[in-house]
Amino acid sequence: MMEDAFLRNSVIVTGASLGIGRQIALQLASQGAHLALAARSEQELSRVASLCRERGGEAVAITTDVSDEAQCKALIERTVVEYGQIDSLINNAGMGMWARFDELSSLSLLETVMRVNFWGSVYCTHYALPHLRATKGRLVVVVSGGGKFPAPGLCGYGASKHALVGLFDSLRIELEGSGVSVTAAYPAWVATGMSGRSLRADGKPTGEVTAHEKGAMSPEVCARLIIRAATERRREMISAKLRFGLVMAPIVPHLVDGIAARMYG
């Protein structure tokens, strides 16, 4: 049954200490999932793991910096030791930036964003894929609207998300017939506080949550939509606002660019 899709399902969730990842973990725990939770913050991760166990799931906190290939490999190996297999991988870990390209005195910020947002998913997927093939499992990546639309001030973020689209669209085709489903999630802004944690050109957080994030979708709703799409093994989950933009962009591209410039400029 679809509602039992994650019952005793061994699931890795990256970026599980807060925001969308935290809500995905809590909601899957309520379905009886066996969770391997990954994030850099050991304290916050342990707190989420405890909440998951209270909700009826099994959970182990595995402190992981996804920008480090060795740590991603260790995450996969530890999950197999804990649960014997991997049924689902949810690549959710990510970071933001808020700086125009010509404001960057060095490219280190772009490199950091790419390592976390793109290479983190590459590393985890590479080491998990043989296990997912064995279980005919689910592969999920949380891309965001940045994978569909460009925006000023988010050049590195958008580049990392577009790279994810290219990778996972290709993987979907390559894995056809293997039993492994590939689901890409494209939520619009979600009220996680990410804009306040996004890094400026000097590498420091903005410290300010933007106006459009304050009125955005809640992490609870976003997590529910992602889990539903993964349960149904759909290829995509796209927010309604983004769907409208995708229809309009080929027709009036300058208008869509202008909206992005006003929102983010």
Q: How far from 99 is each of 107, 144, 151, 162, CA to CA, in Å?
A: 11, 18, 11, 18
Supply the CATH number for residue 125's domain: 3.40.50.720
Q: How far from 73 is each of 64, 76, 121, CA to CA, in Å?
A: 10, 5, 12
Residue 86 buriedness (CB in 10 A; 0-12 / 13-18 / 19+): buried
pLDDT value for 192: 82
pLDDT value for 109: 93
Considering 123, 157, 186, 264, which one is annotated as catalytic? 157
Q: Does the annotation mark 157 as catalytic?
A: yes
CB–CB of 177/220 below 8 Å?
A: no
Query: Which of 214, 194, 217 is CA-nearest to residue 206?
Result: 194
Total domains, the chain: 1
The whole domain housing 186 covers 2-264
Within 13 Å of residue 167, how many CA atoms lie on the same side as its CB? 22
pLDDT value for 245: 67
pLDDT value for 115: 97
Q: How far from 249 is each of 81, 169, 258, 265, CA to CA, in Å?
A: 47, 21, 11, 19
Q: Is the dihedral of CA 234, 180, 189, 164 positive or negative?
A: negative
* Distance linking the first and last C-alpha atoms of the chain: 47
Query: Which of 149, 156, 159 is CA-nearest to residue 98?
Result: 156
Residue 61 bridge partners (DSSP): 37
Summarize pLDDT for 96-128 with one digit per residue, the tens: 888 889 998 999 999 999 999 999 999 999 999
CB–CB of 8/56 below 8 Å?
A: no
Could you tell me the mean pLDDT of each successive run of 10 residues in the chain, 265 residues long? Answer: 81 97 98 97 96 98 98 98 98 91 91 96 98 98 84 86 96 98 91 80 80 79 96 91 68 66 60
